[in-house]
Amino acid sequence: MDIRNHLIETQVNDLLIFRTNIDKKSEFLSIKYDLQKIAGVRLCTIDLDDCDRVLRVECENVPLDRIVEEVARHGFVCEELAD
């Protein structure tokens, strides 16, 4: 097995997608800072132009509830979006 293929195979991530009520970039940046403190969280993005204010969290072995709780701690709604 080529070492590059092995590295790709071992870096499998989860992509968690949520509906939120985050309206401002400044609000997201505060939440993002705290989300990235959670072990296993690699990347957080939000689409403020989407009506669902879609939050995407790329992570590994992070329970969905952990993300919801952290966003809620900031006073925002966070619900998993179904596929």
Tell the CATH topology of 14-80.
Alpha-Beta Plaits (3.30.70)
Mean pLDDT of 2-27: 75
Over residues 58-78, the pLDDT tens digits come to 999 999 999 999 999 999 999
Instruction: Give residue 4's pLDDT band: very low, low, confident or very high (50, 70, 90).
Output: low
Over residues 15-47, the pLDDT tens digits come to 999 999 999 999 999 999 999 999 999 999 999
Domain boundaries, the chain: 14-80
Taking the model in full, what pTM does it have? 0.83
pLDDT over 70 (residue 10)? no
User: Is 44:50 a contact under the CB 8 Å cutoff?
Assistant: no
